Amino acid sequence: MLDSPIREHLDTLLQAMADDKFLILTGAGISTPSGIPDYRDSDGVRRGRQPMMYQEFLAAPESRRRYWARAMLGWPRVRKARPNAAHEALATLQQRGRISALITQNVDTLHDQAGSHDVIELHGSLHRVLCLDCGQRSERDAIQQLMETQNPYLSGVDAVQAPDGDTLLDPAFEARFQVPQCPHCAGERMKPDVVFFGENVAQPTAARALAAAENAAGLLVVGSSLMAYSAFRLCRVIAERGKPLMAINLGKTRADDLLDLKIEGSCEELLPWLVEGLRR
């Protein structure tokens, strides 16, 4: 059962979305119930160590070796993750024509697996690998199989899972790691098809997201601290145009001063309620 304040906030959200199609923007908080760790705590502070920066990844083979050794051990958990009730609720809302578009900061494809379509992947997808030399893309499972074949010494090594398919791996395991080569050109500069920290969102993707915000009647943020500017700027667009800006999120967000309504509750619990309320 929902407590009274949350129920009242949810009723306000239902009224706002009853006749207008909102844009949905999701972050890591929607996928944590599926077993994928998030980057930040309830105060918006980053957990653990600094993630690898894009410039660092490009700069040296040692950096790419370190990244891929850790990522090889982290990928199975991402691949096995399955959508939860929150992903399924948003897929249902989209199928019923109750939302205008769906943007996600997540790179786990759980929205697609839940049945959502035309998802704007603001930060890309871990399920693809991009060659920086020839520009060709490969399926991550194929690259994973290649890495496991070339690095059998890591079989059975236990590493603590970190956000976005990363792991906390002892550096002693990294020195021998064989970095995968591109199946198309044999290049050695392979990267997951995601936006690294310090890297810009691809211009076509940023343009799609901006257009979605400009065309929406309002924006509902789900499970995001909005600390990444690529997401926060969409909230500013909505607020500057006087459209309703609301959020379901546990903890602080970068847009708290802009929000018209914030519901501090579990998106896995609240989004199914939203689906039922909009059915009436």
Which residues make up each annotated binding site for NAD(+)?
A: 105-108, 223-225, 249-251, 267
**Phi/psi of residue 205, each to 5°?**
-70, -45
Classify 47 as helix, strand or coil: coil
Cβ pair 77, 167 in contact under 8 A: no
Q: Which residues are annotated as a binding site for Zn(2+)?
A: 131, 134, 182, 185
Give the strand pairing for 22-26 and 218-222.
parallel
How many C-alpha atoms does 241 have within 13 Å on its Cβ side?
17
In the beta sheet, which residues pair with residue 129? 138, 192
Residue type, 175: A
Element (H, E) at 102: strand 99-104
Residue found under tokens 């890297």: 199
- Catalytic residue (one of 9, 87, 123, 127): 123
Q: How far, rounded to the nearest angstrom, does the alpha carbon of residue 32 sit from its chain's CA centroid?
A: 10
- Decide if 123 is catalytic: yes
Q: Which residues are annotated as a binding site?
A: 105-108, 131, 134, 182, 185, 223-225, 249-251, 267
Residue type, 167: T
**Phi/psi of residue 101, each to 5°?**
-170, 165
Catalytic site positions? 123
